[in-house]
């Protein structure tokens, strides 16, 4: 790979063209000023002689580039049976050179080169991004045979084989636990923030992380049939099925270019042949028609409109991967939201105001935090976070004989008392008595036992993002329907939906079910946006008309599958993006109408001989371009 390819990608030739033309224009500007010095009678040896011939630089640079575009246009005409922008740019550039409007020729090709680079720079990278997912799947599995362990490539394993997964390792294949007890982080697949306790008979998935216990697993699927493998396939398939809208300019010039060329030929030949008119006069008028009909302003203004929106978005912490996604954002009328890591932070927190939270006194929680500091479990982090935010000194408390009970909790001596913190299974193992209350609010419950007696019960819940309520409210103001799609439990989803005022919610969904549900929404909407953060959201992000990813918890495959990335993770950016998309679409169509309207008027006047060539360039090209770009600046006022 060359230096230019590394910096600019495979389409670096457009940048080379632009640089060459830009340098030529700067050079001629300098030389023309030197020529002005020469006319004043000042003598600068050698430079004054060079200044006599500034246009030579233009011809040397512009001619081969114009011929290149003309060649590309002929190739596409032969292969696709239609004229393209390259053909018209080549004709316009070389025609402008022919009538000695060399600066205009260079300007047209310069702007066209920049436009082509930015249009081709953003390409589909879904397959490359999906390949990154392989790092989450172990290449080998620890197979247990006759009491002996052996590391074997997963590709050689078949359903029915028994494997061993130790704490801290990722599970290599889908299977069923046959022995052992452990917490497994399944956020990679389900998006659920709290690890799930796995015991004999429970299903486990490839790529998920075994946290604290030893698991013996019987493999149930081939590597290519695992849930994560299916997610990868769905991302690729969804990308292929998401047909790219044919470029607006190319669709237009399919008819515009041949009509303009035909009109120019007729203008140059018909009057002399039919009426004996002066050939040079009508050739001049035909060149006026070619120059004024050259859609350089139109070609640049449409991509520039969308590129300006992309630039404005980047300044506000949003990455948009192409102009077509801005266009689709302006059409969105339904938005689907993942819960964990999107509407919420994806981290369990203590909810002491919960009706089912009962603690004798704060000292109990301080002792729990002192014990939990010896664990890396997410629930332990919740207690430590509470202690740090409360400003209590939990690290000086004496803790001894700490022991983690896989899949159940943690036990240790705190200030001489035996303290245990965990789930109901741990309570039963210790022999403590529960109070008989049933959990019905969807919160995760943690029980605290001291010296064999239940002394507290604490609710844990994922905290809703600070700006989620505002974002949903603004979406409602825009008339956009919203719904939550989550793999979490129904009571949890219901609580979050009610808190935020979301129109609907769907819970306990796996990635395939999320995708199927999204397709149902698409069938009844103008455009559907999906907002998510995990690999489990990747298929839906890729299938949606616009996929929006949160960047803090999103892994590579999610960010690549998405069309829009919220770098600063501000949900309030989403309604702003939709308003920006609507405004961008309006301005783009205004620019199209203004450009074509002015050029049509000037074209008619040029054929009638009412305006000179310089005026067509000044008004029809430079003037229109200035008006279009001033119109584009209105995007900066979107709030």
Task: Give the 3-state DSSP-derived string for 121-149, with helices as H, strands as E and coil as C.
Answer: HCCCCHHHHHHHHHHHCCCEEEEEECCEE
Nearest Cα neighbor of 200 from 229, 179, 186, 225 is 179
- Type and span of the H or E element at 337: strand 334-338
Q: Among 313, 362, 352, 356, which Cα is nearest to 491's?
A: 356
Q: What b/e string do you get for 301-318 counting C-beta neighbours within 10 Å, with b at 16 or more?
A: bbbbbbbbbbebbeeeeb
Placement of tokens 């002491």 in the chain: 352
Q: Tokens 């004024």 label which residue?
A: 292
Asked whether the beta carbons of 500 and 468 are under 8 A apart, the reply is: yes
What is the set of active-site residues? Answer: 338
CB distance 182 to 197 below 8 Å: yes
Q: Which residue has the tokens 């169509």?
A: 589
Q: Give the helix/strand (H/E) hosting 548.
A: strand 546-550
Fill in the DSSP letter of residue 170: B
In angstroms, rounded to a whole number, what is the distance separating the alpha carbons of residues 482 and 498?
12
Does residue 620 contact residue 292 with C-beta atoms inside 8 Å? yes
Q: Do the beta carbons of residue 541 and residue 532 sit within 8 Å?
A: yes
Site of tokens 């028609």: 289
412's enclosing H/E stretch is strand 409-414
Residue 35: both structure tokens together: 């020529």
Label residues 50-69 b or e (16+ Cβ within 10 Å = b).
bbeebeebbbebbeebbebb
What is the rounded CA–CA span in Å between residue 282 and residue 288?
A: 10
Task: Give CA separation, 219 vs 205, 228, 361, 512, 514, in Å.
Answer: 10, 15, 47, 21, 25
Quick one: how far is CA 3 from the chain centroid? 27
Residue of 292, 237, 242, 295 whose CA lies nearest to 96: 292
């Amino acid at each position: 790979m060359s230096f230019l390819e590394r910096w600019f990608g495979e389409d670096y030739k457009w940048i080379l063209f632009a640089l060459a033309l830009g340098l030529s224009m700067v050079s001629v500007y300098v030389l023309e000023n030197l020529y002005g010095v020469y006319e004043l009678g000042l003598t600068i040896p050698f430079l004054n002689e060079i200044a006599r011939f500034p246009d030579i630089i233009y011809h040397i640079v512009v001619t081969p580039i114009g011929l290149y575009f003309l060649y590309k246009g002929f190739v596409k005409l032969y292969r696709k049976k239609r004229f393209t922008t390259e053909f018209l740019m080549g004709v316009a550039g070389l025609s402008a050179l022919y009538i000695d409007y060399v600066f205009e020729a260079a300007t047209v090709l310069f702007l066209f080169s920049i436009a082509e680079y930015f249009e081709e720079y953003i390409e589909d990278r879904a397959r490359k991004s999906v390949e990154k997912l392989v790092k989450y799947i172990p290449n080998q599995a620890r197979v247990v045979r006759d009491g002996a362990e052996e590391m074997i490539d997963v590709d050689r394993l078949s359903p029915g084989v028994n494997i061993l997964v130790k704490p801290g390792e990722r599970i290599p294949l889908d299977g069923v636990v046959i022995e052992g007890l452990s917490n497994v982080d399944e956020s990679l697949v389900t998006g659920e923030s709290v690890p799930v306790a796995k015991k004999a008979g429970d299903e486990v998935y490839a790529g998920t992380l075994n946290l604290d216990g030893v698991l013996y697993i019987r493999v149930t699927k081939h590597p290519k049939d695992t849930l994560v493998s299916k997610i990868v396939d769905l991302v690729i398939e969804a990308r292929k099925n998401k047909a790219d809208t044919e470029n607006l300019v190319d669709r237009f010039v399919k008819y515009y270019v041949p009509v303009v060329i035909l009109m120019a030929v007729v203008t140059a030949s018909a009057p002399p042949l039919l009426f004996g008119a002066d050939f040079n006069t009508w050739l001049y008028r035909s060149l006026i028609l070619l120059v004024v009909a050259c859609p350089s302003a139109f070609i640049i203004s449409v991509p520039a409109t969308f590129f300006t929106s992309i630039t404005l978005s980047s300044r506000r912490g949003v990455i948009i991967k192409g102009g077509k996604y801005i266009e689709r954002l302006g059409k969105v009328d339904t938005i689907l939201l993942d819960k964990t890591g999107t509407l919420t932070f994806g981290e369990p927190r203590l909810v002491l105001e919960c009706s089912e939270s009962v603690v004798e006194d704060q000292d109990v929680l301080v002792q729990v935090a002192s014990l939990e500091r010896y664990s890396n479990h997410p629930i332990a982090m919740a207690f430590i976070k509470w202690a740090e935010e409360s400003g209590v000194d939990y690290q000086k408390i004496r803790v001894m004989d700490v022991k983690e009970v896989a899949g159940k909790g943690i036990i240790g001596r705190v200030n001489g008392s035996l303290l245990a913190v965990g789930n109901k299974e741990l309570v039963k193992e210790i022999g403590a008595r529960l109070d008989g209350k049933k959990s019905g609010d969807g919160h995760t419950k943690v029980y605290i036992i001291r010296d064999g007696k239940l002394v507290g019960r604490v609710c844990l819940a994922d905290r809703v993002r600070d700006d989620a309520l505002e974002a949903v409210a603004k979406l409602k103001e825009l008339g956009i329907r919203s719904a939550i799609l989550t793999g979490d439990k129904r009571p949890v989803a219901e609580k979050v939906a009610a808190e935020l005022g979301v129109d609907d919610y769907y819970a306990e969904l796996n990635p395939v079910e999320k995708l199927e549900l999204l397709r149902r929404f698409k069938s009844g909407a103008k455009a559907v946006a999906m907002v998510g953060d995990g690999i489990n959201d990747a298929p839906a992000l890729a299938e949606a008309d616009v996929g929006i990813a949160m960047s803090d918890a999103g892994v590579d495959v999610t960010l690549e599958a998405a069309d829009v990335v919220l770098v600063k993770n501000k949900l309030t950016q989403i309604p702003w993006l939709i308003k920006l998309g609507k405004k961008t679409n309006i301005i783009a169509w205004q620019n199209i109408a203004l450009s074509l309207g002015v050029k049509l008027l000037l074209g008619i006047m040029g054929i009638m001989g009412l305006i000179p060539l310089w005026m067509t360039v000044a008004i029809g090209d430079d003037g229109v371009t200035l008006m279009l770009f001033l119109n584009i600046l209105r995007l900066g006022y979107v709030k």
